[in-house]
Structure 1
């Protein structure tokens, strides 16, 4: 178990019996039991967020261990920043790796740091596909479903993967799942969102293949479905306790051709019958409507929930900060709510709600807070240089 020393002793409102201190009957504080029997103590999830704090080769650093330890204990589930499953799948500097057995000891430290007060530790895994560069890959050309560059100014044209290479990458996802089990995690989340390789195979923009991996909608589903199948086989073989297999999805793309909601809903209908534990819907606003059909006023997550029809629990994420906002998600019959940026600013969000101390919840961040929050200089620069900055409510220079 990771030991925070003095900080751990005085961690905010570490209550002997927290049930005695729950003064508000929030639905998100109720436990949830997955189909495999794993119980989650509440419905609050810390979603995967890039923390760019690993060593250059993907090895875990002490800074990362401390970062996760600060944010564990309150949330029901904590999903790590993504880890690549192959060297060719690395997306950026400072990224975790689960591509080799040598990474297991470091990943074990993260899992142990998260597992405080029964917070469940989930490792997100991926392959970046075309969303990387030869500079990141030490001169190696990026690879993807097809040789089609992403629509961004600095995009490189990837190399089209061969059938044998696709099979190797699928096996790498399965091997990464085994390593997550050996490292002590409670589950893995397959990153099928945010334009990375699993999404690239589903997208008609990045996948122009005419073999069994592309062409029709059904064939564009094949890569993800095969990854799920082989990862589940590993879980059945190696897991000695309930182990979650989650899937994160981005419902739409703006590219033409690109993923449209009608195809995603068909895909989700298929995914809901796979051996998955949950569906994590990646959006900037949990109540976001269609990006492409402005006449469609029904929130995307509502449409997804209707298709799933309780076959899988759903994690909703996007612009959730205050308890009343999270409770609205529960009222919509969405099983879990993920707080991203808010968990960067306020690691003890759940503890403060449980202690009836909501007025102490921090909704802003100052550079003076960074050491206390365990935010490394690399992560802070990432926040300041990207789209996160305008959403972080930074209060001081």
Structure 2
């Protein structure tokens, strides 16, 4: 059978990807203590390369204060370049495009992770969840300006390492989102206040990254932006805010990537609105910038439905953990052999790094669909999922 998601796509900058399937960025917690890539992590990506048109890595911090968790990849200094070159090479197998996701965690970190340093954010306001979140200190204007430079320097390193693009992680309640959120950003200077001022940091980062790409990239290089459609806190980001945000950046980036637990999701805040979030964003991006849909996409039918609803790409996360050759098996009509569950005893065979295995068995167990669990994995249609930054007690 021929599927639309197996057709190639050419971006406005001339880069062509061989199909519309994207491996979603997923935390591996498998880098060294200093953020350098491990052989285990590179092998994990390498096994899943060759099929998807693009693979977006788990997030890499752009500076030391940007760290959000242990085992996190880093692109904060030139010492990281040899490992990042190895990572890019392992992904770019058989024409798969390698995209490096970059970020700063902001208040979604802790003094323990930051080795005694206080977390930072737009304002000195602790996150609502988890309940024991530390109160960050507000970034000074010189620090904000330096952070913008850090995103630019990280992009230059991604170009040098051989990646095909970077994705700015402006979702899952990390720092870029914190600056846009009235929940996290209650500044009274030019970096906060009105919705336009709360956008200023993200726009400055985008403009800096665009300048770096124009200066240093010798071939087409993508700039993606990941966004969470809504926050559930009050005050917080609502759907109208995110659609406004997309309208401001859609002519500046290569693609928009939604972050949500179900591709069929409707508004979490307005239960009377039955239109899917993919359809809502498609109305703002159609013909201007490609949209990546995501969330519980496991089967070819799911990927087809996401594209039919308005997505230009279908991002697959957990299913590519379970089934590294998902694209190849779909292409060869070998659907019967596709894993939709995973046995804990097969994780070594699937080259899942040891540290990643541990958190899949604990913090993320409810979303993985282990064969040894009686309950099917949750679909997160009507609530935020752990991978969206929501930490509920398991």
Cα distance in structure 1, aligned partners of 2:26 and 2:318 = 9
Report 1:218-257 matches (<5 A).
218-257=196-235
Alignment match, 1:263: 241
Kindly indicate whether the alpha-carbon contact (under 8 Å) linking 2:279 and 2:310 is maintained by their aligned counterparts in 1.
no
Kindly indicate whether the alpha-carbon contact (under 8 Å) linking 2:179 and 2:192 is maintained by their aligned counterparts in 1.
yes
Report 1:378-393 matches (<5 A).
378-386=355-363, 388-393=364-369
Instruction: Say yes or no: does 1:180 pair with 2:158.
Output: yes
Instruction: Say yes or no: does 1:80 pair with 2:62.
Output: no
Kindly indicate whether the alpha-carbon contact (under 8 Å) linking 2:225 and 2:257 is maintained by their aligned counterparts in 1.
yes
Alignment match, 2:96: 119
Structure 1 residue runs of 4+, over 6 Å off?
Answer: none
Q: Per-residue deviation at 1:86? A: 0.4
Q: Could you report, residue by residue, the CA deviation over 1:199-252 in whole angstroms, capped at 9, with x for unpaired residues?
A: 000000000001111000000111111100000100000001000000000011
Residue range with higher mean Cα deviation, 200-209 or 327-336: 327-336
Query: TM-score, with normalisation over the residues of structure 2?
Result: 0.93
Cα distance in structure 2, aligned partners of 1:327 and 1:307 = 20
Q: Could you report, residue by residue, the CA deviation over 1:21-58 in whole angstroms, capped at 9, with x for unpaired residues?
A: xxx11000000000000000000000100000000000
Structure 2 stretches lacking a partner, 5+ long:
374-394
Indicate the SS of the match to 2:348: helix
Aligned pairs, number = 372
Instruction: Say yes or no: does 1:394 pair with 2:370.
Output: yes
Cα distance in structure 1, aligned partners of 2:314 and 2:32 = 31
Report 1:313-332 matches (<5 A).
313-332=290-309
Instruction: Say yes or no: does 1:374 pair with 2:351.
Output: yes
Cα distance in structure 2, aligned partners of 1:139 and 1:254 = 30
Superposed CA RMSD = 0.9
Alignment match, 1:19: none
Indicate the SS of the match to 1:117: helix
Q: Could you report, residue by residue, the CA deviation over 1:98-126 in whole angstroms, capped at 9, with x for unpaired residues?
A: 00011011000000000111000000000
Of residues 25, 29, 36, the one that matches 2:6 is: 29
Report 1:275-286 matches (<5 A).
276-286=253-263
Q: Per-residue deviation at 1:59? A: 0.6
Cα distance in structure 2, aligned partners of 1:238 and 1:375 = 34
Alignment match, 1:106: 83
Cα distance in structure 2, aligned partners of 1:206 and 1:277 = 27
Cα distance in structure 2, aligned partners of 1:372 and 1:352 = 18
Structure 1 stretches lacking a partner, 5+ long:
1-23
Of residues 67, 70, 90, the one that matches 2:44 is: 67
Of residues 195, 216, 227, the one that matches 2:173 is: 195
Q: Could you report, residue by residue, the CA deviation over 1:234-286 in whole angstroms, capped at 9, with x for unpaired residues?
A: 00000010000000000110111100111111111111122x10000001111
Q: Per-residue deviation at 1:384? A: 2.0
Of residues 311, 331, 335, the one that matches 2:288 is: 311
Q: Could you report, residue by residue, the CA deviation over 1:294-326 in whole angstroms, capped at 9, with x for unpaired residues?
A: 111111121111012321000000010000111
Query: TM-score, with normalisation over the residues of structure 1?
Result: 0.93
Alignment match, 2:391: none
Cα distance in structure 2, aligned partners of 1:299 and 1:89 = 33
Q: Per-residue deviation at 1:154? A: 1.8
Alignment match, 2:334: 357
Q: Per-residue deviation at 1:350? A: 0.3
